[in-house]
Structure 1
């Protein structure tokens, strides 16, 4: 009679949780398990990770971009940040890889010259300059999309799930705190405090993003309290619950990629 009375309801429905677990395993298989284990950090919105003073919007945008590129393990990629007023959408140049895809040993080069374009171009939303977590999360999403497209491996569920996979891989690269904190923008308060044009694009909502962040933290053996101190207050309860749930799921997972990540 009382067997299920005190059982905790899962954070997500089974379909969503299994997709996240499967897609994280897909990322581990295709985007450098060794880099994830040895080099990937939990990137935080702090002076420890984004230090330095700048004197202009463009300097800040470039400084944040350079650090985000390095934390993503894509510092050797031919990726260039361009000012919004100079950015034009081009076909994505195809890269070839002599070494690994990410990390210190990565040495990608442009495989073909597309209309004289020598770099992969990325820009930024100037409205996000005063919202650095949105700026970092948006950069991480752009780099994640480039990484997935260059590798050419569709995520579980196929092309339809590419936007969600972009968010997940950005978390996989270490940017889950910023992604979770910016997944929902509160529209209340004074009108001048809210700028909808500064919000980033969101494919994975808060609950799913927190689940990804909890999975990242469990796989990297990052204590829950380290993450909780960086999250918005209303996110902490869900994260704690997801962390506890995933610690058990990973421990008993039959997925070899997930097990390899923790061994």
Structure 2
């Protein structure tokens, strides 16, 4: 884009060339993600912690042979191995057998967090057992509920708590796993009937998750292309756009977080 500066200081006409780098989400959501990172940095009091960027094929996750072992691995990677909670499985809904149903869209919960008689309980769907990296992302999200249980309302208020919990899972290093598992599309065949099934998990969109991942990389000085190369191919361009926008808008990302006025977001 070309902008003309018509100020006639020193009798000269100045021409300024600039291009605006756009993130893959709307500007309002981009600013909310920034505010959420600033809020998380405040409520988690972790300024000196550099979480690991957890990627597909992570050795600790790959070594797990059961859901319980995977859960323990996610707790270790999140720095929560000493946090006490009970893990439970619940059965996933069965696929309809009606042959007229050729497409099924499922947005059912794949994990839950609750406190029962002062005991923290995290539950996961049996449907996730064949998707260990997606299950690890689910565990990260539910553990972030545990992290934030006494944190108060996030930027924008209580209606955005689940979205902020997704953001928190990115904030502790699981952004790539969340983005890769946010939406799936697959064919099924039960021997008699077949069809297509799409499913969604989480609350932030894929584009919001990769934008938050770019912010995570900027905050902790990780090369953003490490995350890009581990993403689904169609999300890699979105991460590139997000990283470019963060770099242009906030060259010093830590300072940018300190400058966010969270009071402006209290009732946003």
Into which bin does the TM-score normalised by the smaller protein fall?
Answer: 0.7 to 0.9
Change (3 A) 1:47 1:239: closer
| Structure 1 residue 7, shift from structure 2 partner | 4.0
Count of residues in Structure 1 that have an aligned counterpart in Structure 2: 222
Q: Which has the higher helix share?
A: 1
Change (3 A) 1:246 1:76: same
Change (3 A) 1:53 1:182: closer
- Asked whether the equivalents of residues 183 and 200 of structure 2 are also in contact (C-alpha less than 8 Å), the reply is no
SS at match of 2:83: coil
Query: Which residue is 1:23 aligned to?
Result: 36
| Structure 1 residue 245, shift from structure 2 partner | 1.1
Cα distance per residue 1:71-94 (max 9 Å; x no partner):
112111111212437xxx99626x
> For 1:225 and 1:218, how far apart are their aligned partners in 2?
11
- Asked whether the equivalents of residues 61 and 124 of structure 1 are also in contact (C-alpha less than 8 Å), the reply is no
Q: Which has the higher strand share?
A: 2
Alignment of 1:94-105 (within 5 A): none
> Is 1:141 matched up with 2:126?
no
> For 1:206 and 1:7, how far apart are their aligned partners in 2?
22
SS at match of 2:142: helix
Bigger radius of gyration among the two: 2
Change (3 A) 1:139 1:200: farther
> For 1:152 and 1:8, how far apart are their aligned partners in 2?
33
CA RMSD of aligned residues (A): 2.8
Query: Which residue is 1:246 aligned to?
Result: 246
> For 1:184 and 1:239, how far apart are their aligned partners in 2?
16
| Structure 1 residue 2, shift from structure 2 partner | 3.6
TM-score, with normalisation over the residues of structure 2? Answer: 0.73
Cα distance per residue 1:172-208 (max 9 Å; x no partner):
1110001111122235x55569655xx5632100111
SS at match of 2:121: strand
> For 1:71 and 1:223, how far apart are their aligned partners in 2?
19
Query: Which residue is 1:155 aligned to?
Result: 154
- Identify unmatched segments of 5+ residues in structure 1: 55-59, 94-113
> Is 1:185 matched up with 2:184?
yes
